[in-house]
Structure 1
Amino acid sequence: MSGPVALVEGESDRTALLTVAARSGRDLSGAEVVAMGGITNLRHHLAGIAPDRRVVLLHDAGETPYVERTLAHLGRDLPRFACVADLEDELVRALGIAGALDVVAAAGDLAAWEILCNQPFHRDRPEELVLRRFWGTTSGRKEKYAGLLAAALEPDRAPAPLVGVLEALQVTGRR
């Protein structure tokens, strides 16, 4: 493939990006969205991409020093978009806690959420922190909710890092 490529940290990021693209009517044909299996695989993935191919990167802000060192070592400069904590955090902030919990309820996981909230460690913690823990407590839940949360968003409420990646890919809307 010779079109643009978006490198994202994991499958949940890939799922959310594809969902936001679909919800906003952006055509990703010709573009590739690659889940790297963690930011530490950035060097490996960039090594397999021709230097003249347009590459866009989505990562967590906490990984910025690693990303900058890796890109400097490789002599690459590319558009990068960072999520404040992680992509799920961006999605929750875009939806609001109540909206995110509506998604949890619609997915049939409200009982599991309430069990987690009633554990002594989580009782007095902010809901956004408990939600971050909730996404990671069951295999596959992070990816599942990345898609569900992204699908629940109105297209004009999509988090800035996802919109930035789509714009940098220069994908167009279907009209």
Structure 2
Amino acid sequence: MTTGMPAGPATWVLLEGASDVAAVRALAERAGLGLDGSGVRLVDMGGATNVRRHLLDAARAPASPRVLGMCDIKEATFFVRALRDLGCAVSCAQALPGWGFQLCDRDLEDELMRALGPGRVRAVLEDLGLTDRFATFTQQPAWAARDFHEQARRFAGVASGRKELMAQALALALHPRSLPAPLRGLLDDLSGDGPTFSSLGATERTGS
């Protein structure tokens, strides 16, 4: 996981947290993108509220990096405001993918679990040796009556390091053709030219 900003030419991928970094890194490496060798840095922002600071770092960098990212739709306003503050004419949250920032409906774990379905999520829990702990968790009064999807989402976040572990495993359990739209869009951006961001602002992709 990378939290600091590189000084040289690179692509910076701004992500909300460590679990997003774990999933994107696993999928990018599986796709043969070679992040480290190509100067790509996955940045754990520690929350969407910090996006403006990271965009300012990019704008001030000696060699302007290409900036991509991904966020939850409920946090998209932070990205829109930050980009507008730096001179980017972002019309609304739904326009963010055209600027290189993909949108998750709820969060990345939700996207991954919906794409896999309950049976394959259970298989991931079993592969990780978490089946018994999950069963104990679902017996708690507050969660016993919830559906499996909500139980699994909450279970991922109740122990230190589990969210990253599960995000990586869930991502790798998906066939490349079955990736959720935000992850597919981000990987496509990483493998292509994508938008640019510098002290002069950002350039929206045409035709997006």
When the two structures are superposed, what TM-score results if normalisation uses the length of structure 2?
Answer: 0.77
1:115 corresponds in structure 2 to: 136
**Runs of 4+ with deviation above 6 angstroms:** none
1:14 aligned to 2:26? no
2:51 corresponds in structure 1 to: 42
Q: In the alignment, is the contact (CA less than 8 A) between 1:91 and 1:159 conserved in 2?
A: yes
Q: In the alignment, is the contact (CA less than 8 A) between 2:13 and 2:68 conserved in 1?
A: yes
Question: How many matched pairs?
Answer: 172
Range with greater deviation from structure 2 (45-54 or 10-19): 45-54
Alignment-mate amino acid for residue 33 of structure 2: R
1:89 corresponds in structure 2 to: 110
Alignment-mate amino acid for residue 46 of structure 1: L
2:72 corresponds in structure 1 to: 60
CA displacement, residues 134-157 of structure 1 (integer Å, 9 cap, x when unaligned): 011101100111111112111111
1:1-175 matches, within 5 Å, as 1-28=8-35, 29-50=38-59, 52-76=64-88, 78-170=99-191
C-alpha deviation, 1:60, in angstroms:
0.5
Structure with more relative contact order (C-alpha pairs < 8 Å, separation 6 or more): 1
Runs of 5+ in structure 2 lacking a partner? 1-7, 91-98, 194-208
Runs of 5+ in structure 1 lacking a partner? none
When the two structures are superposed, what TM-score results if normalisation uses the length of structure 1?
Answer: 0.90
Q: Percent identity?
A: 40
